[in-house]
Chains A and B, each alone.
Chain A
Amino acid sequence: MTQRSPAKAEGKERVGAAVAAFWAPAFAGERLDFRTDYLLRLGDDALVLGQRVGEWCGHGPVLEVDISLANLALDLIGQATLLLGESGDGDKLAFHRDVLDFRNCLLVEQPNGDFAQTIARHLLYTIWQHMLLQRLQQSSDQFLREFAHKAVKEVAYHRELASEWTIRLGDGTEESAQRMADGLEWNWRFIPELFEVDEGLQQAIDAGIAVDPRSFEEEYRAAIAAVLAQAQLEAPADQRPILGGRQGHHSEHLGHLLAVMQFLPRAYSDAKW
């Protein structure tokens, strides 16, 4: 047990820093350069959303939808593998990092809820991701350019599928419309974080490697509005934004997700497959 005390002390220190200033990053360890930080933001988004959507595997409402969701999850895990691999040891980053060191946005870690809530989360994220990847193809960074070129086709399909399902559920039965509205309501407060630019991201934007999300916020809002109009749904009222995921301040849900995802490689460090 004595071995545990340094980790415990470190944990306390982290909590202290986080309490001192909300914007203080919760991360342990040294500050990362802005490129690595950017790769982790995109990589953690893909990893966490991939794991979330993957939770549907075997639980989809019908077999065909189960397969569709698993395909989305696998695309995202593939993207995470590339991005985390570029920023370091991908497996170590995915399976041996603690919750405070994750840089994903809060939207992607939100619980699946019912199928409509999952679709709402996917719609809000995937339209943002698609617009980002379209622009990231002009990044000054060769890896990011090539990554974006590959991933943008996958994500274009995700966008299509999420839009089609939103329209069908919204313009479906009374119950499906209510569930879709509830799903949007749950996830709506996490939109502003997608367009937040902090110091680290600003540096990456200035260096020409990253996309400034504010450049497409208007287009994003219009695209969401267009899908909702087709779905006969009202956009939820804007709520108090919840921010902080990029700085490691996560909701309670991410810890549970990581506990499931990381258990095996942590408990059996020599496990192979």
Chain B
Amino acid sequence: MSSDWPLWEVFVRSKGGLSHRHVGSVHAPDAELALAHARDTYTRRLEGVSLWVVPSADIVASNPEQAGELFEPAQSKIYRHPTFYDIPDEVKHI
């Protein structure tokens, strides 16, 4: 039966000010129940303050075969990393 239901990707915001992060997926017949299933499956232990669900079919993904041309060029560009200055300890979530 579960295979009849579409898949939804679940995103949880763990606290105010942070971004929603992908945590997994649920099956559900529609958006409202997808939200209920996401709540029951992924926020049982106080993991979040906000939830998003997105139909998995609507996710546009990059092609793994293109990984080389898409991502490898960034490897040689270390000047793009914030590694040339110190980040104070008090600054979290960077």
Chain A: number of interface residues, binned into ranges:
10 to 19
Complex contact A71–B40 (CB within 8 A): yes
Complex contact B29–A61 (CB within 8 A): no
- Take A68-B40, A71-B40, A71-B44 as given contacts and tell me if A63 and B2 are in contact as well, using a CB distance cutoff of 8 Å: yes
Please report which residues of chain B, range 16-42, place their CB below 8 angstroms from some CB of chain A when the two chains form the complex: 26-30, 32-33, 36-37, 39-41
- Take A161-B36, A164-B33, A168-B33 as given contacts and tell me if A64 and B26 are in contact as well, using a CB distance cutoff of 8 Å: yes
A62 to B36: give the CA distance in the assembly, Å.
14
Q: Chain A contact residues: over half helix, strand or loop, or mixed?
A: helix
Provide the residues of chain A in CB contact with B29, threshold 8 Å. 168
Complex contact B5–A62 (CB within 8 A): yes
A67 at the interface (CB under 8 A from B): yes
Minimal Cβ-Cβ distance residue in A for B38: A64
Provide the residues of chain B in CB contact with A64, threshold 8 Å. 2, 26-28, 37, 40-41
B60 at the interface (CB under 8 A from A): no
Complex contact A68–B5 (CB within 8 A): no
Could you tell me how many residues of chain B have their Cβ less than 8 Å away from some Cβ of chain A? Answer: 16
Complex contact A67–B1 (CB within 8 A): no
Minimal Cβ-Cβ distance residue in B for A63: B2
Minimal Cβ-Cβ distance residue in A for B2: A62
Complex contact A67–B41 (CB within 8 A): yes
Provide the residues of chain A in CB contact with B27, threshold 8 Å. 62-64
Minimal Cβ-Cβ distance residue in A for B26: A64
Complex contact A61–B1 (CB within 8 A): yes
Minimal Cβ-Cβ distance residue in B for A161: B36
B35 to chain A, nearest CB (A): 10
A161 to B37: give the CA distance in the assembly, Å.
10
A140 to chain B, nearest CB (A): 32
A56 to chain B, nearest CB (A): 13
* Interface mask (B35-77 → A, CB under 8 Å = 1, otherwise 0): 0110111001000000000000000000000000000000000
Complex contact B40–A67 (CB within 8 A): yes
Provide the residues of chain B in CB contact with A62, threshold 8 Å. 1-2, 5, 27
Please report which residues of chain A, range 26-84, place their CB below 8 angstroms from some CB of chain B when the two chains form the complex: 61-65, 67-68, 71
A168 to B5: give the CA distance in the assembly, Å.
13
Please report which residues of chain A, range 1-23, place their CB below 8 angstroms from some CB of chain B when the two chains form the complex: none
Provide the residues of chain B in CB contact with A71, threshold 8 Å. 40, 44
Most interface-central of A62, A63, A68, A71 (chain B CB within 10 A): A62
Complex contact A68–B36 (CB within 8 A): yes
* Interface mask (A131-169 → B, CB under 8 Å = 1, otherwise 0): 000000000000000000000000001001100100010
A232 to B36: give the CA distance in the assembly, Å.
22
A161 to B33: give the CA distance in the assembly, Å.
8
A selection of 20 A-B contacts at a CB cut-off of 8 Å is A62-B1, A62-B27, A64-B2, A64-B26, A64-B27, A64-B28, A64-B37, A64-B40, A65-B37, A67-B40, A68-B36, A68-B37, A68-B40, A71-B40, A160-B36, A161-B36, A164-B33, A168-B29, A168-B30, A168-B33
Interface residues of B (CB under 8 A from A): 1-2, 5, 26-30, 32-33, 36-37, 39-41, 44
Lowest 5 CB-CB distances: which A-B pairs, in order?
A64-B37, A62-B2, A68-B40, A71-B40, A67-B40
